[in-house]
Structure 1
């Protein structure tokens, strides 16, 4: 097979421990049922032990499904995932890494903080890519490559991020969802 390039092995998609910490050990601490904690253990996330450095994408996605079912049975699936996205950011903001990120975001303001969105999201895992297209000084479109089939999770993340920058009158609208990706319009008042 000379002249043929070898197929490159696909990189294993993982979520980093501080992301898991922010959601499960900070934002959701004491809120999950015993049944949910048992389901999380079976899925590969044992909250009674020291966290692993990273968790596989599929484990993370399954664990978020467990949270949606346990904490938000009264909401629609999209609403539950949106609440988890908000909780994720709120929990991350109370971790060591998150406190520094929030401080910088407040100094930068909404537009400049959103320009750094891809970097911010990549600190949580090794597979999410984002593109931010500026439409005006108070409006951007955000494309995210992998939304786990739950775009409202990232809608909740973007809403919480916008709020943490000090933006007033923030709104996040899902524009499209195709394959694993989604696009959002993010707006705020001047």
Structure 2
């Protein structure tokens, strides 16, 4: 089946399906066609094409995790060459959310987030992240009406990218002065403390 890679079930000898990690079209569209469309250099656009995202053609329904990660690495270097790397990744996370809101999927999500407010929106964070790709998972621990702890299973080695995503999501839901910081790294994931003002 397309989009699935076969693997062998231990000790049984039958293939089992392991889903490929994919980032969906509207996520790519939001970042590169809306948020950054006139802000990247020609060299960066050529790098994206070489990495597998050709924006001169219709977008594919999904892109591999590896393609997306490489595209983000190229983008953060081009967009924020003078910033500390962590800050560049944080800003890129914010750009992803800010671009996504211009897509059909993103506009619907923003409308719901504004109705729900920050805390109730964060309760739906796992669904929100899973609408962007098929591999990121999140769990929420509520600490107060304006703070929580968020665990994310995969941060691509760049947890500040997810700090930016979390801050932008809270802001879209109406939270003021949103702050997110890494509490701990856990394998390929991380745990964040998130707070905001009403």
TM over 0.5: yes
Which residue does the alignment assign to 2:24? 16
Of residues 41, 56, 60 in structure 2, which corresponds to 1:52?
60
TM-score by length of 1: 0.95
User: Of 129, 138, 156, which aligns to 2:146?
Assistant: 138
C-alpha distance after superposition, 1:58-91 (max 9, x if no partner): 0000000000111110011111111110000000
> Quick one: distance in 2 between partners of 1:172 and 1:114?
13
Q: Alpha-carbon deviation of 1:169?
A: 2.7
Cα displacement string for residues 118-165 of structure 1 (whole angstroms, at most 9, x for unaligned residues): 000000000000001111111110000000000001000000001011
Q: Does 1:115 align with 2:123?
A: yes
Which of residues 176, 186, 189 in structure 2 aligns to 1:178?
186
5+ residue gaps, structure 1, are none
Tell me, what secondary structure is at the counterpart of 1:88?
helix
Q: Distance in 2 between matches of 1:93 and 1:123?
A: 13
SS in 2 for 1:8: strand
Structure in which a larger fraction of residues adopt strand: 2
Question: How many residues are paired up?
Answer: 188
Q: Which residue number corresponds to residue 70 of structure 1?
A: 78
SS of equivalent residue, structure 1 residue 10: strand
1:5 positional shift: 7.1
Q: Which runs of 5+ in 2 are unaligned?
A: 1-10
Normalized against structure 2, the TM-score is what? 0.91
TM-fit CA distance, 1:189: 2.0
CA RMSD of aligned residues (A): 1.3
Q: Find the counterpart in structure 2 of residue 165 from structure 1.
A: 173
- 1 CA distance for matches of 2:39 and 2:197? 34
Q: Any idea what SS the aligned residue of 2:193 has?
A: strand
Structure 1 runs (4+) greater than 4 angstroms displaced: none
